[in-house]
Amino acid sequence: MQRNGGSGGASGHQWVLRRVRLTWLSFMLFFILVFFPLIAHYYLTTIDEAGGNEKRMFGPRPGGELCEAKHVQDLCRIRESVSEELLQLEAKRQELNGEISRLNLRIEVCKRSIDSAKQDLLQLKNVISQTEHSYKELMAQNQPKLSLPVRLLPDKEDPGLPPPKSARSCRLSNCFDYARCPLTSGFPVYVYDTGSYPWGELVDPLVRQAFAASVKSNIYVTDNPSIACLYLVLVGELQESPSSPPPSPQDLEKQLKALPYWRSDGHNHILVHLSRKSMTQNFLYNVSTGRAAVAQSTFLELQYREDFDLVVSPLVHALSEPNFLEVPPQVPVKRKYLFTFQGERVESLRSSLQESPPQSFEEEMEGDPPADFDDRIIGTLKAVQDSHLDQVLVEFTCKNPRASLPTEWSLCGEREERLEVLKASTFALVIAPGDGQLVASAGCGMRLFEALEVGAIPVVLGDHSKLPYHQLIRWTEAAILVPKPRVTELHFLLRSLSDNDLLAMRRQGRFLWETYFSTSENVFSTILASIRTRIQLPAAPIKDEPAQEIPHKAGKLAGTDANLADNGDLDLGPVETEPPYASPRFLRNFTYTASDTYRTWNKAPGPFHLFPHTPLDPVLPSEAKFLGSGTGFRPIGGGTGGSGKEFQAALGGNVPREQFTVVMLTYEREEVLMNSLERLNGLPYLNKVVVVWNSPKPPSDDLLWPDIGLPIVVVRTEKNSLNNRFLPWDVVETEAILSIDDDAHLRHDEIMFGFRVWREARDRIVGFPGRYHAWDLNHQSWLYNSNYSCELSMVLTGAAFFHKYYAYLYSYVMPQAIRDMVDEYINCEDIAMNFLVSHITRKPPIKVTSRWTFRCPGCPQALSHDDSHFHERHKCINFFVKVYGYMPLLYTQFRVDSVLFKTRLPHDKTKCFKFI
């Protein structure tokens, strides 16, 4: 314990000594660090002041005394040298920076040149690939191009054909001489002058004049009888005059045989009898017409030769043209009366007025079969009228009945009175003659004509009747054909039809009436077309509009605006310029006539024209292009598919390769036009550019047109008309037409995408700016609307693709009243084209990309900026509806974008289009 305490005291003493030493050392260090510098400063300051200015070592010196020191002078020289070197280095640095900037610019230019060269190389590879493909197709093609067949020529003496077993057995195969009608003959028709045969002066003057006018305007009529395929003789309708009765059957046979080209049996002759009245003479009955066919409205069963003679419609409008604007509209579908019938038949009427009710069908079937159902028809229709379930109008007595054939229902009253009743009728009954031997009658033909004219759907009671051109016209699409025994079910059948079906039948009936029956020219053309179709001769090719080219000189080579052609690192396709590839023409001459008979006769525009191509041509199945039918096809990736690069290298699709033609309408805006043409430079699949010069002033003499590597054809027009945009110019050699305004501003990728979409929807308008028709609730009419909308029904043709087929229809088939209104307002041609295509196809147009407008910035004002522009378009829409009888436009709620648009792709894949 003590030891521990002693050691603790010693250690405490040592700790104190260490503290004292540390304190002393700290004090000394502080004194040295503080007081020694102060003493040194004081001493040095005192010495400097005592020595004067000459010996001063510290403090400021006057003037340049500092530089007078030798070492300081060295420092000054060094500073000046360094400053000079720094200035030289700065100048050199700026010079190097400028050189670097210039080199960077050259690098950017080289990069762009390399990218452009890569694009050109890729495009050249595509062109080479397309050329090699075409060469292989030509080398592998084992079918030579067809040449015209050797023309069949009849024997000069024309001994005739072997006689048929009987006159009733005449058919085309044994009574028609095909040797006079080779496929390449063009179907020449020789028409006898009515003054060249004895009874010609007895023909009704109105019929004779209408017939002569139709003959004069027909393209098939020839004055050379030696080359004629068909010989046509007008035999009636004859005037009813006691002083000049019609010739007897024996005299008529002699007069027919005396015709200069009758050749003993009348082969290749057709005897035409046109009826203007419901009661017409059938004076060819009991007349041996040999091998001559008969075309008339009234036939008895023993007289009619199936598939040889023709049942034609009456000639209601002989010299007068029907006013299409007075035809009632096709909507509303349901009219005041469900059905109407007005007529009188004395034989049936007497039996129907007996006090005793008629027997039931069961009672009648137990005994002898009824010879005539007219009594039952009268009783049933009266019962429907008395039931008041629907408003119907049936009248079986007339104040002024028209003359009619035995057992036929006569017409009541004047034509205007009958039309007023039919305008209020949903259905119009046409009761066939009670005599089954009367297979066709002018009275039934007149009822059918009047019903179709005003939009009343014909209901034909009697399945033994032959309707006009029944071998070619599918009457079930426009009329309801009901056997007479089903008259008790007729009311139920008529009420069961939907509005959709009723309007479709009414529209088809309007087409048949306008196309085949409305005018004397249509009646004459239909008779010839029916003969031509049955002997399998194609129609005459529809004419192209000859282009009067305006000579012009090309200037500098057009450049390419990168903003217009930017599609990333993708090429838009080969620029096929050597040579331009025209679409094949007239490949379906025979099949269009022989295979598509019912379609051509029952769909607009009818069988009167042969088109070089149509958007309705059949499409091959996908495997056919790889198994023997691949000529012209360019499958993507050779058939393996692919993304962007493979997609852009070939057109793909379901039809062979093709190009398109740009048709650009312009009017005295040369600078705008030149800029638009220059923007087309380098556009793939472009065949040529057709500029429709709509101004009476020619282009300026010093105007330099851009050289875009393709033909630019400038066409002179006869007058300033917006209809010129849609003329089928003969210089347009492709099926696809891109109609574009001279101030339209479209990128190349937008145009290419629109072209690809159109190839898959060839029967529709495919374009960029969408519009729609809106219903005006206050005025119960239509309005043109260009506001942004989720529905559209029109695509403006200022930037749209369409098929050249529609240019033919617009210029030669569409009602003239529409083109006249376009000329009157200098407006609405794009609306008219949309009406036409929707009327033909019953489909809406297709809008591509998000563009709602396409005008170029800074371009001069166009016609569409006029205040009256929209008012005129409102009027146009309502006028066009009146002409067509209904609103053809249909709404659509979608637009088309490319397949991989907004799709996330792997790094090794590219999109079809960068911005679409």
Given a contact cutoff of 8 angstroms between Cβ atoms, the answer to whether 224 and 254 are in contact is no
CA distance 382 to 352: 10
Structure tokens at 722: 């917006």
Backbone phi, psi, residue 141, to 5°: -70, 120
Residue 708 near residue 679, CB atoms below 8 Å? no
- The H or E element containing residue 557 is strand 553-557
Pairing mode of beta strands 781-785, 770-776? antiparallel
Strand bridging mode 660-666 / 736-741: parallel
Q: Which two tokens stand for residue 803?
A: 């098929």
**Residues comprising the chain, all counted:** 916
CA distances from 202 to 245, 246, 274, 455, 520 (A): 9, 8, 13, 35, 19
CB atoms under 10 Å from CB of 243, counted, come to: 4
**What is the rounded distance in angstroms from the CA atom of residue 496 to the CA atom of residue 498?**
6
Write the Ramachandran bin of 266: left for phi over 0, alpha for psi from -120 to 50, otherwise beta: left
Q: What are phi and psi of 490, to 5 degrees?
A: -65, -45
Which residue, among 564, 572, 566, has the nearest Cα to 912 in the 3D structure?
A: 572
C-beta neighbour count of 103 within 10 angstroms: 10
In the 3-class helix/strand/coil scheme, how is 484-548 assigned residue by residue?
Answer: HHHHHHHHHHHHHCCHHHHHHHHHHHHHHHHHHHCCHHHHHHHHHHHHHHHCCCCCCECCCECCE
Q: In this structure, how many other beta carbons lie within 10 angstroms of the beta carbon of residue 393?
A: 15
Assess whether 830 carries a catalytic annotation: yes
Phi–psi pair at 712, nearest 5 degrees: -115, 110
> 795: which strand partners?
770
- The angle subtended at Cα 214 by Cα 211 and Cα 217, nearest 5°, is 150
**Cβ atoms of 731 and 765 closer than 8 Å:** no
Q: Listing from the earlier edge strand, what are the strands of the sheet with 425-431?
A: 393-395, 337-342, 425-431, 457-461, 480-482
Angstrom distance (rounded) from CA 539 to CA 609: 5
76 — phi, psi (to 5°)?
A: -65, -45
Among the listed residues 309, 375, 742, 830, the single catalytic one is 830
- Give the pairing of strands 794-795 and 770-776: antiparallel
| Contact predicate 282/435, CB 8 Å | no
Q: Which residues are catalytic?
A: 830
